[in-house]
Amino acid sequence: MKMKKYTADTMVQAMEKIRQDFGEDSVILSSTIVQSKGILGLFKKKSVEVVAGYDEPISPKEKTVPLFTEHVKRDSGQEAMIDELKKEMKEMKQLLKANHAPFEFHQYPEEMQALLTRLSAQELNDATIQKIASEIFARMKAEKVDFTADEQKKIAREILKEELADLPFGGVHFKKKYVNVLGPTGVGKTTTIAKIAARSLIENKRKAGFVTTDTYRIAAIEQLRTYANLLQAPVEVAYNDTDFKEALKNLSAKDIVFIDTAGRNYKEKKFVEDLKKLIDFKLEMESYLVLSATTKESDMRSIIDQFLEFPIKQFIFTKLDETETFGPVFNLLRDYNMGIAYVADGQEVPEDLEEATVEKILTLLLEEGAHA
């Protein structure tokens, strides 16, 4: 086996050098993080030292000769070492073949590690973490001082705020006749629509009515009826597009009509098509997509992609009290260029509903226990 030591600023850079020298079949034998002394104790720089190896191809003639003969015996320690190296080789091959290595932040000063670790744990996208890290480090070098945790958070907040600067935040303005709430099953659409309706009555004195298209679950209809009775608002049930038109006609005297759609697996195109046939989105209507903050980001993206053909005004995120991870919320806002109307963190109507603000999202990302 050929072996060579590499020194680089990051593991990613080291791997690139290894790949150039040994190709995709190389293996990492050891890796160590080293730190320079810096200047007057400041700007300590971390780097990685990596020892990589590569097994040279064995010629056909050599292959006929046993690797270990009776004259060369391996003890149990050697066996264990070889097994471990084989395991590491398998793991590192996968890493070396990856097109995009994850963001590495151990090259930054120790004083920055807490913030970067938190942002990574929050599942904030790598590009944004890199942008924050680079900006903080550049300012530290320019001012020749280590920033405190609060100073670093302030810079991070500035950058994150700028990323969301042009997106609409804030709740329903009740300027349109119909408020339509969409989303998959289990995200809390019915409770959310009841909270919004209660606010329209309490704060805006609007006379409301409800239409539910969730005819697949009797419990859902009864749940909406319970909320509607408390608000002294009528409920219409629509099983098809004809029923839907009739329901809107019956509620024409109301100031505002809330439409509670069925919760289905909207990753399936069929259910999206059914919804399109049922609801006339050309009406004087605002539509909101409700997502649970506990859902995996990849699954939320699949759902959003199915709804992109609808005129979605904003997101509504529920179940913030059931998660500690808020990076995916930020990632979705930025990538889909869409703001948030509300965030919900409980079942109480209408208390557990809050108009979304940029500051609220940033606080959830940066501060421990912010959602409590």
**pLDDT, mean of residues 236-258:** 91
Average pLDDT, the chain: 79
Mind listing the pLDDT tens digit for each residue in 181-227? 998 888 888 889 988 988 888 887 888 899 988 776 667 788 888 88
| Distance set, CA 154 to CA 122, 147, 159, 333, 361 (Å) | 17, 10, 9, 21, 14
What are the structure tokens assigned to 14, written together?
């080291």
Nearest in space to 212 (alpha carbons), one of 197, 198, 193: 193
Q: Which of 42, 8, 12 is nearest to 130 (CA)?
A: 12
Q: Please list, in sequence order, all residues whose beta carbon lies within 8 angstroms of the beta carbon of residue 85, skipping any fewer than 6 positions away.
A: 27, 29
Residue 186 has phi, psi (to 5 degrees) of 85, 5
Report residue 4's pLDDT band, with 50, 70 and 90 as the boundaries: confident
Residue 32: the pLDDT is 64
Which CATH topology does 178-366 take? Rossmann fold (3.40.50)
Would you say how long the chain is, in residues?
Answer: 372
Q: Which pLDDT belongs to residue 231?
A: 86
- Rounded to whole angstroms, the Cα distance separating 355 from 347 reads 16
Residue 38 and residue 145 in contact, taking contact as beta carbons nearer than 8 Å: no
Three-class HEC string of the chain: CEEEEEEECCHHHHHHHHHHHHHHHCEEEEEEEEECCCECCECCCEEEEEEEEECCCCCHHHHCCCCCCCCCCCCHHHHHHHHHHHHHHHHHHHHHHCCCCCCCCCCCCHHHHHHHHHHHHCCCCHHHHHHHHHHHHHHHHHHCCCCCHHHHHHHHHHHHHHHCCCCCCCCCCCCCCEEEEECECCCCHHHHHHHHHHHHHHHHCCCEEEEECCCCCHHHHHHHHHHHHHCCCCEEECCCHHHHHHHHHHCCCCCEEEEECCCECCCCHHHHHHHHHHCCCCCCEEEEEEEECCCCHHHHHHHHHHHCCCCEEEEEEECHHHCCCCHHHHHHHHHHCCCEEEEECCCCCCCCEEECCHHHHHHHHHCCCCCC
Better-scored residue on pLDDT, 285 or 174 = 285
pLDDT of residue 159 exceeding 70, the answer is: yes
Counting residues of the chain whose pLDDT is more than 90, the rounded percentage is 33
Using an 8 Å Cβ cutoff, are 9 and 78 in contact? no
| Per-residue pLDDT band at 63 (split at 50, 70, 90) | very low
Q: Looking at the predicted structure, is the pLDDT value of residue 74 above 50?
A: no
**Strand ordering across the sheet containing 235-237:** 235-237, 208-212, 256-260, 178-182, 285-292, 312-318, 340-344, 353-355
What's the pLDDT band for 99 if we cut at 50, 70, 90? very low
Q: Tell me, what's the pLDDT at 337?
A: 93
Amino acid 148 reads T
pLDDT (average), residues 298-320 = 91
Task: With beta carbons less than 8 A apart as the criterion, state whether 119 and 156 touch.
Answer: yes
Q: Give the model's pLDDT for residue 210.
A: 92
Q: What is the pTM of this model?
A: 0.69
Beta strand pairing call for 285-292 and 340-344 = unpaired
- Quick one: which of 118, 111, 116, 117 has its CA closest to 369? 118
Q: How many CB atoms lie within 10 A of CB 275?
A: 20
Cα dihedral 66, 68, 69, 71, rounded to 10, equals 160
